[in-house]
Amino acid sequence: MIVKGGSLGKGTAVRRTADLDLVVFFNGYSTMEEFIEEKKKPGGILDQFSDYLTAEDIDSKHWIAESRSGPFHITLNMESTETKYDIKVEILPAINVIGRNIYEGCNMDPVYVNMARESHDTREHYSPCLVQKQRQFVRGQSSEVKNLIKLIKYWKNENDLEIKSYMCELLAIHVTRQGFSNMRSEFLSVLDLLVNYDSLRITFDEFYQPLKWEKYFPKAPYVIDPASPFQNTCMENITAAEKKKIESCAMNTRTCLSL
């Protein structure tokens, strides 16, 4: 089974650039540790993906493509020679860890209990396995929320800020629940949050109760994945200079909008 995630899979892509996650689910693995070993070993799943993508020239008349391997996925950067539209495709191997709990309202606690028993490094491999829940959460939002998401992503891209696309989506969803009357007020609220980047503490309760899992939250800043109480969508290893750039850009934009 292949599940389409990323901004293209959730309906939140912006013009000129987009990300597409193709999560490929594999059968026959009883534990996450077994699956991780299969991904890492020479000639394993990731190597096979990489070999397949580089066996032949994947460029076409209208696209230039470049692939590279990472510890969790294969990344394929595709650039249109006609429209200058860029797509970053990430191919992520996964296994089914949630069973039949893909439907809204299903109890996800058994999944999180199993994840809690794992080491931090092992838990990182669970994120693509939860793509159906992540996609369900974002795709279920209204068109007004998705328009705000696209505005935030456009602002982030234009200013070259170290903010994950998924975090932009979650910030938009968070502020639209605060009762603002228009998109301008909602966007200003997002900027207010980013002006104080290190104070970010945002959680969601659709699939779990945050208080039950807060001992696993990192220190602020954090915007916790609604599909996993162990996953912080804030950029890891972000530098002080990059944080300062986000805060300064948010402040400058807010000032301009307030004139």
Show the tokens assigned to 96: 């089914």
CATH code (residue 230): 1.10.1410.20
115-147 residue pLDDT tens: 999 999 999 999 999 999 999 999 999 999 999
Query: pTM of the full predicted structure?
Result: 0.88
pLDDT at 116: 96
pLDDT at 40: 82
Based on the fold, state whether residues 22 and 148 are members of the same structural domain. no
Contact call for residues 74 and 49 (beta carbons, < 8 A): yes
| Count of the separate structural domains present in the chain | 2
Based on the fold, state whether residues 128 and 86 are members of the same structural domain. yes
Domain containing 163 equals 142-258
Domain end (from 138, 169, 193): 138
Domain end (from 86, 112, 138): 138
pLDDT at 259: 72
Intra-chain end-to-end CA distance of the chain, in Å: 51
The stretches in the chain having pLDDT less than 70 are: 16, 53-70, 80-85, 100-105
DSSP strands (E only) in 53-208: 63-69, 74-80, 86-94, 201-202
Domain end (from 76, 109, 138): 138
